[in-house]
């Protein structure tokens, strides 16, 4: 049967995918515009902790490049330096060579395990106190609050028309942010160059292009992230909130709201100030103080949320209000979900630091630390590498012997001139010579290598092809430190005709 004309589809007006959706639902945008957050100033225990963390971390960042460490006349005296020209990383008494990059990998593994452990114990304590985004955003907000005023004043200023007052306050704020950002980028390049030297070069125009590009890039990124993006970095850019819940359990210490005591919330003007067994309203006076001080703009009374960085400023704000109305403090508190439930039932609470997951993370942390410490304490100060010539594989001499060429590299990791003895074993050589070196009476060679440097030597070895094992004959180079008899060997082969 043919479909009635009124029921036939019209190509010009295709049917919607879901007829159950209302017109308003279909018009909803896919991305919500940002609601600017105006954190209010607060004082208290957790705010003081954040100030201490900010001062300590910024002090470390800006002061460490200026610390000196005597390593001898042949090495830089900057305590922490990543020397890209020499290919070294200096951390006080530790020196990392390029082939020892696994120590850097070990540090990253330690940092990850430490973050897992800290999160399982205290929630997002890193995000709230140690993350660079948090530290620099706190500094930027401090400057902003000093110039523009507190929460209400900043909100009014943003909505006000452009006047001289608004222009100079906004301009002074952004200029201050740019100065801090430039100081941030400038301090970063000090870790890769001698700090006093490169600072003079920067201001005199003698620094390299890479230095200026790095400073400009970090200035822009710091200004953008700490000045404009702020809480959006924690909400949208940072991956940690997405899987932090895997590190938490009911005994992890996090910022919690005592709903059993605070609900039902209501204004102070209609509450019974004497709490009974069945109160008319709870202790939460719905003042929004916890929301107003939150740097990410969330309401902790809605429970633990992805945006919460665990800074605890809402605890300080709530305690301040509880003191004013005469109610017990810690309606919002730093505690575990388990303790909140126990307290609601009138039972004794406890803090459980030793748990299966914390034991596991602690074991991994100790294990990786021990392996790295053992490796650092027992690493050799001498390394040897040999590269055999491959074009040609061998050269036939006029007397019928064949000769191979090698490039020998000797790494002297000590801050002193070293003399090494070179010899070969496992090969019946007819000639053994090191270009530019005179052999000892026993046929060995004395090689001098400067402090903290790599000595490169050209070695030629000849042998009678009739006495070789085949087209390749294995043998070894042996390098011995004449001072302490530390010995390193390198296995290679001698190529000859088939």
> What's the chain's average pLDDT?
88
Task: Round to whole Å and give the CA distance between 275 and 216.
Answer: 59
Residue 477: the pLDDT is: 94
Residue 30: the pLDDT is: 64
Q: How confident is the model at residue 149 (pLDDT cuts 50, 70, 90)?
A: very high
Q: What is the mean pLDDT of residues 62-72?
A: 92
Residue 498: the pLDDT is: 73
CB atoms within 10 A of CB 53: 18
- Residue where the block lists tokens 């600072």: 199
Residue 289: the pLDDT is: 94
pLDDT (tens digit per residue) in 405-434: 999 999 998 888 899 999 999 888 889 999
Q: How confident is the model at residue 393 (pLDDT cuts 50, 70, 90)?
A: confident
Residue 274: the pLDDT is: 52
* Whether the predicted pLDDT of 130 surpasses 50: yes
DSSP assignment letter at 473: E
Residue 472: the pLDDT is: 87
Question: Residue 380: CB partners within 8 Å, gap ≥ 6?
Answer: 413, 486, 488
Range in 29-38, 74-83, 184-193 the model is least confident about? 29-38
Q: Which structure tokens are listed for 106? A: 């070990």
pLDDT (tens digit per residue) in 30-39: 666 778 899 9
Q: What is the mean pLDDT of residues 71-87?
A: 86
* Whether the predicted pLDDT of 196 surpasses 70: yes
Q: How confident is the model at residue 318 (pLDDT cuts 50, 70, 90)?
A: very high
Assess contact for 387 and 440: CB atoms under 8 A. Answer: no
Q: What is the mean pLDDT of residues 89-115?
A: 89
* Whether the predicted pLDDT of 272 surpasses 60: no
* Whether the predicted pLDDT of 119 surpasses 60: yes
Question: Residue 401: CB partners within 8 Å, gap ≥ 6?
Answer: 430, 431, 462, 463, 464, 465
First vs last Cα of the chain: how many Å apart?
88
Range in 76-85, 95-104, 119-128 the model is least confident about? 95-104
DSSP assignment letter at 130: I
Residue 25: the pLDDT is: 59
SS3 157: helix
Residue 483: the pLDDT is: 85
Task: Round to whole Å and give the CA distance between 458 and 435.
Answer: 6
Residue 51: the pLDDT is: 96
CB atoms within 10 A of CB 74: 12
Q: What is the mean pLDDT of residues 464-475?
A: 86
Residue 8: the pLDDT is: 47
Task: Round to whole Å and give the CA distance between 400 and 339.
Answer: 88
Residue 28: the pLDDT is: 63
Residue 306: the pLDDT is: 87
Q: Which structure tokens are listed for 174? A: 């952004």
DSSP assignment letter at 78: B
Residue 277: the pLDDT is: 45
Q: What is the mean pLDDT of residues 199-223?
A: 94
Q: What is the mean pLDDT of residues 182-201?
A: 94
Percent of the chain with pLDDT over 90: 58
- Residue where the block lists tokens 């002061």: 63
Q: What is the mean pLDDT of residues 128-153?
A: 95
Task: Round to whole Å and give the CA distance between 478 and 380.
Answer: 15
Which of the two residues, 436 and 30, has the higher pLDDT score? 436
Task: Round to whole Å and give the CA distance between 310 and 126.
Answer: 9
* Whether the predicted pLDDT of 242 surpasses 80: yes
Q: How confident is the model at residue 201 (pLDDT cuts 50, 70, 90)?
A: very high
* Whether the predicted pLDDT of 442 surpasses 70: yes
């Amino acid at each position: 049967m043919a479909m009635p004309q009124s029921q036939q589809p019209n190509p010009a007006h295709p049917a919607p995918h879901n007829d159950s959706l209302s017109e308003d639902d279909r018009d909803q945008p896919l991305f919500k515009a940002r609601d600017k957050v105006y954190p209010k100033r607060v004082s208290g225990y957790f705010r003081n902790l954040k100030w201490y963390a900010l001062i300590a971390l910024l002090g470390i960042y800006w002061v460490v490049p200026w610390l000196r460490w005597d390593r001898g006349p042949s090495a830089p005296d900057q305590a922490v330096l990543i020397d890209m020209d020499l290919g070294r990383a200096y951390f006080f008494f530790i020196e990392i060579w390029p082939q020892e990059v696994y120590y850097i990998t070990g540090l990253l593994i330690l940092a990850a395990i430490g973050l897992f452990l800290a999160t399982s114990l205290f929630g997002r304590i890193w995000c709230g106190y140690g993350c660079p985004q948090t530290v620099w955003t706190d500094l930027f907000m401090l400057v902003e609050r000093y110039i523009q005023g507190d929460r209400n004043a900043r909100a009014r200023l943003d909505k006000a028309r452009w006047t001289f007052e608004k222009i100079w306050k906004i301009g002074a704020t952004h200029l201050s942010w740019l100065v801090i950002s430039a100081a941030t980028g400038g301090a970063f390049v000090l870790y890769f160059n001698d700090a006093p030297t490169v600072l003079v070069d920067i201001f005199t125009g003698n620094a390299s292009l890479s230095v200026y590009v790095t400073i400009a890039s970090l200035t822009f990124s710091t200004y953008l992230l700490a000045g404009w993006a702020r809480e959006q970095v924690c909400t949208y850019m940072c991956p940690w909130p997405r899987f932090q819940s895997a590190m938490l359990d009911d005994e992890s210490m996090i910022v919690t709201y005592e709903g059993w005591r605070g609900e039902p919330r209501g204004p102070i003007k209609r509450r019974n100030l004497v709490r009974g067994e069945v109160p008319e309203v709870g202790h939460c006076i719905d003042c929004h103080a916890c929301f107003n001080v939150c740097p990410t703009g969330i309401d902790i009374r809605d429970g633990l949320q992805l945006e919460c960085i665990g800074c605890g400023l809402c605890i300080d704000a709530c305690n301040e209000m509880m003191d004013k109305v005469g109610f017990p403090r810690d309606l919002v508190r730093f505690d575990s979900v388990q303790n909140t439930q126990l307290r609601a039932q009138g039972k004794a609470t406890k803090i459980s630091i030793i748990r299966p997951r914390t034991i596991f993370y602690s074991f991994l942390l100790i294990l990786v630390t021990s392996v790295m410490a053992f490796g650092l304490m027992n690493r050799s100060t001498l390394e040897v590498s040999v590269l055999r010539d491959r074009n040609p594989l061998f050269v036939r001499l006029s007397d019928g012997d064949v000769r191979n060429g090698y490039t020998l590299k000797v790494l002297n990791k000590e801050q002193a001139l070293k003399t090494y003895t070179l010899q070969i074993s496992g090969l019946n050589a007819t000639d053994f010579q090191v270009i530019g070196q005179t052999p000892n009476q026993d046929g060995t060679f004395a090689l001098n290598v400067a402090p903290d440097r790599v000595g490169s030597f050209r070695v030629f070895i000849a042998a009678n092809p009739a006495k070789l094992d085949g087209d390749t004959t294995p043998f070894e180079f042996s390098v011995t430190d004449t001072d302490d008899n530390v010995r390193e060997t390198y296995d290679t082969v001698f190529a000859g005709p088939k």
